[in-house]
Structures are given as C-alpha cells and as structure tokens.
Structure 1
Amino acid sequence: MTAGTGATPRCIWPLGATLGEGPVWHPAEQALYFVDIKQHKLHRVDADGGNTRTWDMPGETGFALPVDGGGFVCGLAGKLVRFDPATGAFTPVTEFEADRPGNRLNDGHVAHDGAIWFGSMDNAETSASGALYRYDGELTKHDDGIIITNGPAFSPDRKTFYHTDTFGKTVHAFDVEADGTLANKRVFATIAEPGWPDGTAVDAAGNVWVAVFRGARVEQYSPAGELLQAIAFPVPNVTKIAFGGPDLKTAFATTATKGLNDEERAAAPLAGGVFAFPVDVPGLPQHLIALDPAK
C-alpha cells in the first residue's frame, strides 16, 4: 500500500446525519444529493457546502438516484418510488419483497443503460434476508442470502460488477454476461480490521474505492484487488463516496453518527457530516435512470 495522496478530507456540511448514505453527483445541477436513512431525509448541497436543501421522505430511504427527465427514484422498504422535488410528489414504480417484511433497501447504483442495481437488507441486521436486484422496467434478482448488501458498482469497461457483503467484510466481483446477468462470483477484496466495507465507487482507471464503516477511512483498490491507499477521516463511520465537481476529481463522502456513544461523539464532532477530498484520477460519470426500458 502506498502512503496515499496526502489528501485530507474537509467537512463541507456538518449536518450530523444519523445515517448519511447514497451520495450521488447530479451532473445537470452540479450538486451532491444524499439521504439520511434513519431520519427519512433527502439532502442537497453544492460542492462548496452552499445552497443546502432538505426534503422529508415517507420512510427509511436507502438511495435517491437521478432520472432522465427529472426527479429521482428512491428506494424505500419493499418498493421503488419516483420523487419530484419541485412538487414533493411521490409516484409508485414497483413493489416487491412482501415476504420479507423486516427488510429495507440499502445501497443503489445506476448502470450505463439506465437500469438500477440495488440491494435490500435486514433492518435488524441479524437475518441473511438481503438480496441484490436489477430494475429496468422489470425486476430481476441476482444474488441473495446477505445480511447487509452494499456497494453495487461497475468497472469502466462494464465487464465486472462489484457487490459487497458488509458483515462478511468482503467485496465480491462478478463477470457481466452479454445478456446482463452476473456470473463467476468471487472475492475481490477482504476488508481488514477495524471496520466493515460500506458503499463502493469506481474511478475512470477502474480503481475501486470502499468506504469503511467504523474504520474511519476510505480504501482504494486497484482493478486487480491490490490495496493502493487509505484516506483517513476524523470520524469513525464513513458510508460511501461519490465523484463530482466539473472534472469529477473531487470525492464527496457521507458519514454517520449511528452507533456512536457519547464519548465517541465528543471525540468526533463532525460525525454525520459531508466531506470532500481531491483525487488524482477522475470518477465515472453519473448515469441517469431510464424508467422507460426502451429509452
């Protein structure tokens, strides 16, 4: 592992989120959107920390991903809904997992073809009831039997898919078949102590960036799975990064106060804030959801 870039994450919005998650860079607005799952909120912030906005969600929302044509698709327990920030309206997209009432949705990703890849998880974090799904107008299941799913992401050439078993401390890689299905599940990286792998992002060189919850860091891995560097954070719970800015060379990170005791909160007053740090290699562009599969 190298010594790192020397980048020091700076807090651009110390909002103290309980479970800040799912950061996405909105290319048209040049702004970051993210959720606070436990507080039922969707947040927006400019790259410099200005122009913040907050919307109430109708429940625990694992992700809010931008749609081609405006608005977001949000992942709530057992369903996807479309949200229009201008009107505050929620419109049903699809429902599922009626047989898994203890689940909620967690991390999500928009693929190059406008499909949504996302995972569910046991909200009590004890049962292996989480699954991995793809939605492109039809819902298909691609993995199952996971307590906490995380980190769906694709390599730049779209031939490798990454998916994380948080409690298994493992990032898995899959081959992407010509028909879009996944095959050859294998271990890409195992996260060392302390902490658990959370959200994942991939840069333009194919490096895989993994946020480490309870590990106070973000790790960067080569496409071959070699640990290249670790970016240290002044807070314990780093949940996910998103690449943004006009050149996609700023990494924005969400964090959380969830699970911290009073002593830990006092030692990390910026916990739950949004952070930013520069990167040498730009990220991949944020794709938009195509709700019409013919688009």
Structure 2
Amino acid sequence: MQTGFELVLDLKASLGECPLWSVAEQVLYFLDIKRCWIHRFDPESGGLKTIELPEEVGCIGLAAGGGFIAGLRSGLWLVGTNGTLLRKLADNPEDQASSRFNDGMVDPKGRFVAGTVDETREKGNAGLYRFDRNGLAQLADGLLTSNGVAFSPDGQRLYHADTLRYALYTYDYAPVTGTASNRRAFARFGSDTDKGRPDGGAVDVDGCYWTALFEGGRVQRYSADGILLAEYSVPAKCPTMVTFGGSDMRTLYCTSASVGRSADELAAFPLSGALFAMRADVAGLPKPLFNPEA
C-alpha cells in the first residue's frame, strides 16, 4: 500500500460525505450528514463556512445558476447557497422513517442520479433513482446502502455500489435517455480479516474508478476492466468518499466518519471524521451542473 492522504481539516465530522469541487469558485463543498451541514472550504485562504439545513443531507450536486440539488430524508430539493430550501423536486418514495437519500451525482446531461439507504440494514428496501424534468424514475431496487455513483468519461458507464453487500457494479448508461441496463459486478470486497467495503467513488480522466473503503482505512484505484491498480492509506478507519479538485484537478480529497465507531478505534484513529487530501498522478473530471430542465 502506498502512503497516501494527509490531513487538511480536523473537523471531527460525524459522517463526512459527498466532497464536491466547484470549478467556478475553486472551493470544495462537502457534507456532515448527521449534523445536517454543508461545508464550503476554500483551500487558498483556508476559510471554512458551514451551511445548516433542516434535515439530514446525504448528497448534493452543484446547480446551474447557483445553489444545489440536495438529497434529503424527505426527497430531492433545490437549495440556495445559504441553505434555504427553495423548491421540492421529488418526494423520497420510500418509508422516510427508515430511508433517506444518500449518495448521488449529476450525470453528463445534467440529470441527478441518487440512491437511498435502508436504515434497517436488512430489508433491502433502498433504491437508485434518476431525476429529470419528467420526475423520478427508479434505476435499481433491492439495495441496502446505495453509494459510489460515478460516470465514465464518455458518460456511457455508470458505477454504483451497495456498500453493506460489499459490492461494486457497473451499468451500461445511455446519456441521451438516462437509462441504465446490463448491471454486472465490477469488484467485490471483504473477507474474514478485512471489512473494507466500497463507499463513495470518483472517476479520473483515464477512466479509472477510485473508491473509498469504509472500515478499510484506504482508497483504491481500479482500471476500467476492474483490475486493482493501486491503493493509498487514509489516517482514518472509515473513509467515505473521494473527489478530484484543485486548479489542475489533481488534488484528491477524501472525507471520513466518526459516528458509531468504538472508543478503541477512535483512540487508534484520532483523525476520524477529518478531511484529507493527496496529490494524484492523474487528473479528475469536473462535475456537470444540475439542470432541472434536463
């Protein structure tokens, strides 16, 4: 394993997630889901601003014209830059007592693809959805924890993980219609001694997929053929998601979690919940902007 990520911000986040680089602003947005926060970090000045929402926020995408599309417990919302809920786009179609939106990403045509988490951790009631001007459409069901949404550089492959099943999949994706088909296993994880499982992910310009391994303490890079190319250590047991940023898109940011971790683990990994980064040998892809008329 290669030496990898270093500390950027020691936030002690409960459930840090969904780092998202704004090319226009040259800042990083990321979440603390359990505290209902969107953080805005300016690496040039070191400034950190926190935006509070009225519900847990599981994922965000930058919206054309400013603000965000956000996946909350109640559904998908347009959110202003100050955290104001501007307009509800779609209800969470599942039982909100045990379901909330989790990981999501804007697709190449400006739609939002996002999944939910089954908080019972056993019923498999979670799903993966696409939102566009025609409303919400289901792409996959029977999931436990939807994660890892990312797209290949040509937009014709969708990556998606079911974290609690230790499974990472790919689908054929049609950028024009937003349909996903031909789901197949991309990589599988976990053993009796290694509980690392795929959480959030990102794709680089070479078409390789990077995944943060929750309870695995590392980030892995896979070729488009599913071959493990490299892995990099993270100073936290539970990294949650990676994204590329910086002026050259070669800074790889990684969020992490501290919620629900044992006292022994937190003592061994005192930076749990921090934001980390490393310089990558390859650049990432700027994220498309959400367009409600897509």
Q: TM-score, normalised by structure 1?
A: 0.94
Alignment partner of 1:126 is 2:122: yes
Name whichever of 119-128 and 267-276 sits farther off.
119-128
Q: TM-score, normalised by structure 2?
A: 0.94
Superposed CA offset, 1:158-214 (max 9, x none): 121111011111110111246331111100111232311100110000000010000
1:272-287 to 2 correspondence within 5 Å? 272-287=273-288
Alignment partner of 1:141 is 2:138: yes
Distance 2:52 2:14 in 1: 14
Amino acid of the structure 1 residue aligned with 2:75: K
Structure 2 counterpart of 1:217: 218
Instruction: Give 1:168's match in structure 2, choosing from 165, 168, 172.
Output: 165
Superposed CA offset, 1:57-81 (max 9, x none): 1111101211010011111113111
Is the 2:36–2:57 Cα contact (8 Å) retained in structure 1? yes
Percent identity of paired positions between Structure 1 and Structure 2: 38
Structure 1 segments, 4+ long, off by >6 Å, are none
Distance 1:268 1:74 in 2: 30
Distance 1:36 1:91 in 2: 21
Structure 2 counterpart of 1:21: 17
Contiguous gaps of at least 5 residues in structure 1: none
Instruction: Give 1:73's match in structure 2, choosing from 38, 45, 69.
Output: 69
Is the 2:76–2:92 Cα contact (8 Å) retained in structure 1? no
Name whichever of 203-212 and 258-267 sits farther off.
258-267
Distance 1:74 1:120 in 2: 12
Aligned pair count? Answer: 288
Superposed CA offset, 1:107-140 (max 9, x none): 0101111110100111232321110011112211
Paired residue secondary structure (2:265): helix
Paired residue secondary structure (2:61): strand
Contiguous gaps of at least 5 residues in structure 2: none
Superposed CA offset, 1:217-240 (max 9, x none): 001000000001111111100000
Structure 2 counterpart of 1:110: 106
Deviation at 1:49?
7.3
Superposed CA offset, 1:266-295 (max 9, x none): 2211110100001111001111111222xx
Distance 1:179 1:40 in 2: 33
Deviation at 1:255?
0.4
Amino acid of the structure 1 residue aligned with 2:85: F
Deviation at 1:99?
4.5
Distance 2:292 2:18 in 1: 20
* Cα 1:48–1:273 shift into 2, 3 Å: farther
1:196-235 to 2 correspondence within 5 Å? 196-235=197-236
Alpha-carbon RMSD across the aligned residues, in angstroms, is: 1.5
